[in-house]
């Protein structure tokens, strides 16, 4: 199935639930049930649905290596956790060229990790322990080479919400 078909099928399925399940929220992201950034990756219902999304796997396996970079790993279910972290960007598409551009603009950056992360749309709290999910596309920058061995951050629970990662690719300057 085509990636965009999956994306819009998922959006159509997710939006009625959003209206039904959440009656009030805060616009302060740090407040209980505060709104979080809306991600542009394919939406998911459950953590399993996210981890098994073939569009996520396809995109991560097929993403081109940007100019002057080589892939260190692809299609992992963990993001990099290692020395040399230089911050991250939320992307609108899984665009390895764009992520490399951010790295090239940062002094000392030699590597990046690009991945999909299932995140809550509200800051989980007692009143919203398991909010509707959104999918962020993250581009993390590093001043040291990334490797599959350190792509080990598989997410965590935030209250009852399961943050998980999929389609994680690492690229090093070649």
Ligand X SMILES: *[C@@H]1O[C@H](CO)[C@@H](O)[C@H](O)[C@H]1NC(C)=O
148 makes contact with ligand X (CB under 6 A): no
Distance (Å, whole) CA 10 – CA 49: 10
Among 81, 93, 152, 160, binds ligand X (CB under 6 A): 93
Distance (Å, whole) CA 97 – CA 145: 17
Q: How many CA atoms lie within 13 A of 53 on its CB side?
A: 32
Give 134's DSSP letter. E
Among 36, 98, 104, 173, binds ligand X (CB under 6 A): 98
Closest approach, Cβ 83 to ligand X, in A, equals 25
Interface pattern 1-40 for ligand X (x via CB under 6 A): ----------------------------------------
97 makes contact with ligand X (CB under 6 A): yes
Characterize 69-99 residue by residue with b for buried, 16 or more Cβ atoms within 10 angstroms of its Cβ, and e for exposed. bebbbbbbbbbbebeeebebbebeebbbebb
Among 54, 101, 108, 129, binds ligand X (CB under 6 A): 101
Pick between residue 114 and residue 146 the one whose CB is nearest to ligand X.
114
Among 25, 33, 69, 77, binds ligand X (CB under 6 A): 77
> What is the pairing mode between strands 69-76 and 161-173?
antiparallel
> What is the pairing mode between strands 161-173 and 156-158?
antiparallel
- Residues forming contacts to ligand X in the complex (CB under 6 A) are 57, 61, 75, 77, 93, 95, 97-98, 101
């Amino acid at each position: 199935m085509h990636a965009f078909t999956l994306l819009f099928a998922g959006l159509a399925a997710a939006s009625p639930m959003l209206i039904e399940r959440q009656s009030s929220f805060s616009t302060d992201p740090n407040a209980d049930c505060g709104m979080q950034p809306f991600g542009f990756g394919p939406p998911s219902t459950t953590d399993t649905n996210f981890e098994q999304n073939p569009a996520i796997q396809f995109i991560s396996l097929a993403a081109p290596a940007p100019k002057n970079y080589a892939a260190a790993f692809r299609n992992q279910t963990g993001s990099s956790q290692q020395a040399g972290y230089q911050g991250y960007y939320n992307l609108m598409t899984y665009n390895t060229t764009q992520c490399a551009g951010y790295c090239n603009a940062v002094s000392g950056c030699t590597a990046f990790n690009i991945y999909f992360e299932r995140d809550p749309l509200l800051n989980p709290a007692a009143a919203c322990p398991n909010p509707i999910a959104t999918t962020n596309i993250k581009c993390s920058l590093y001043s040291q080479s990334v490797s599959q061995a350190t792509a080990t951050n598989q997410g965590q629970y935030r209250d009852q919400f399961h943050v998980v990662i999929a389609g994680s690719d690492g690229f090093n300057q070649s």
